[in-house]
Amino acid sequence: MRALPDGSRVAGLRAGLGREWIQEVKLIFRIWGCLLLLGWLALAGAAGAEPSLVGMAGETLNNQQAAQKEAEEWSREERELGKEIAGLERRQAELRRRSESLELALKTEEQRLVAGQRRLVESQKLRDGLLDWLRPVCQRLAERKAQGTPFLSGERRKRFDDLDVVLSDSYTPPHEQFRRVFEALLVETEYGFSNEVYREEIVLDGRQRQVDLLRIGRLALFFRTLDQKSAGVYDPGLGGFRLLPVENVADISRAMAIVRRETAAELVSLPIGRIVKP
């Protein structure tokens, strides 16, 4: 059995049949009109009607055909213009949506710009306040270095010079300046909890001499000549190195060996001197 068409298809068929029926009716009326006109013309010719009437009828028929043709052309042009207007309306709606989207994006960027400027001002205030605190810290650290024992003078001098450059550079971020200052504080603090032996040139009796230096924390700085016959210590009161009695050479040499892990740890007596509270 064939399936019955649904309601939408039936309605479509009815509408299509209705339009075809109307077109057929119009065509029939046009044909009847032409037949009647031709019959009337035939009768008029048979009765000896005026030739002008025949011409008028033909002109009328030509005018109707021209009007019909012009109407069809107008109808076609109207459809084309309607399509063009619909396309322009869609384009206008799309441009309107795009304009609204761009306006929203512009408003968002303006808000971000304002927030960025506010953060920039706050960051500058924080930077200025941080520098006002970091510079005195760095200055006190440099003063302590100058007043203490002159161990690792080249390495420490370079660290403080780099620190001055960082604090003076306006392009260095505040967090990097903060990190560098606290790194210097940490390194200087760790010197007080470590011992080491290294070789360096010192000024002894007005002459440059290369010696082995023994650093005991930040407490004392001993030296021993390369021939291991003489030894001495840095004297803060004199602001320079001085020689120690010969009997101290063996103890200083044994302490150097312990720090270098060349021998087992043991108690060693070193002439540290009297500790004065500043």
pTM exceeds 0.85, yes or no: no
β-bridge pairing 240-243 and 231-235:
antiparallel
The type of residue at 195 is: N
CB 192, CB 182: distance < 8 Å: no
Query: Quick one: average pLDDT of 78-93?
Result: 88
pLDDT at residue 141 in the model:
87
What's the confidence (pLDDT) of residue 221?
94
Cβ atoms 172, 148 nearer than 8 A: no
pLDDT of residue 17: 47
| Across 235-251, average pLDDT | 91
Task: Report helix, strand and coil shares of the chain as percent, to nearest 5.
Answer: 65, 15, 20
Q: In what order do the strands lie in the sheet with 231-235?
A: 195-204, 207-216, 220-225, 231-235, 240-243
Query: Is the predicted pLDDT of residue 11 greater than 50, yes or no?
Result: no
Burial 20-56 (b: 16+ CB within 10 A, else e): eeeeeeeeeeeeeeeeeeeeebeeeeeeeeeeeeeee
The stretch 235-239 carries a mean pLDDT of 86
Q: What is the pLDDT of residue 71?
A: 77
Please report which confidence band the pLDDT of residue 34 belongs to, taking 50, 70 and 90 as the band edges: low
